[in-house]
A and B are shown apart, each in its own frame.
Chain A
Amino acid sequence: GEDVEQSLFLSVREGDSSVINCTYTDSSSTYLYWYKQEPGAGLQLLTYIFSNMDMKQDQRLTVLLNKKDKHLSLRIADTQTGDSAIYFCAEMLYNQGGKLIFGQGTELSVKP
């Protein structure tokens, strides 16, 4: 079945790196995503990775994909208080027209 799991909370100090982890069960994922949601706001697409890649870097964000273990991570370098938000991992399955399956979200708290 389709299932995406994330830990619910992460707390870091400003300036440290944050690593948010996600596991998924369906091996037919085509793309894997990280979305950010700030309080009272919609979902902001942060980055995504095609399933045949193992790493993608975009400024302070690094996405690592271990397809064998079905494990996705998002590393935020030099975390700032403005990074405090809920981060959702999602997968898009092959041949299902763009339907996204989301994890429960990880609440990142950045302390000054």
Chain B
Amino acid sequence: GAGVSQSPSNKVTEKGKDVELRCDPISGHTALYWYRQSLGQGLEFLIYFQGNSAPDKSGLPSDRFSAERTGGSVSTLTIQRTQQEDSAVYLCASSPFMRESEQFFGPGTRLTVL
């Protein structure tokens, strides 16, 4: 596919369970970003990767959140012991090498924590 893809598109989980959200960036894009969109907080930056390393994790809301990226491609955002306030749409974006100005977003994963 030509765009950023994310899976699952929807996830419903029970409070306390762990979830993994996946992002497949556009082929060849070196930078990858995670954002969260929620009613109360709007669109917030979570973390970004340049290659496999994460120079900026400042947006992760707590130590229950972690992310990794392997092979300079797919990234997984993991939320442990989910809470109701984690309910949001999690958006992933990618950009080409040295062109962070052009971030293209995926459709998002809607997470609902019951």
Binding site for B on A (CB under 8 A): 30-31, 35, 41-45, 48, 50, 88, 90, 92, 96-105
Inter-chain CB contacts under 8 Å: number: 58
Known: A98-B101, A100-B35, A102-B44. 16 other contacts (CB 8 A): A41-B107, A42-B4, A42-B108, A48-B102, A90-B43, A97-B48, A97-B50, A97-B56, A97-B100, A98-B48, A98-B103, A99-B48, A100-B33, A100-B43, A100-B45, A105-B42
Residue of A nearest to B95 (CB): A98
The A interface is mostly helix, strand or loop, or mixed, namely strand
Which residues does chain B contribute within 8 Å of A92, judged by CB atoms? 100-101
Residue of B nearest to A96 (CB): B56
Interface size of B by Cβ–Cβ distance < 8 Å? 25
| Interface flags, B33-58, vs A, CB<8A=1, else 0 | 10100000011110010100001100
**Looking at the complex, which one of A45, A96, A103 makes contact with B104 (CB distance below 8 Å)?**
A45
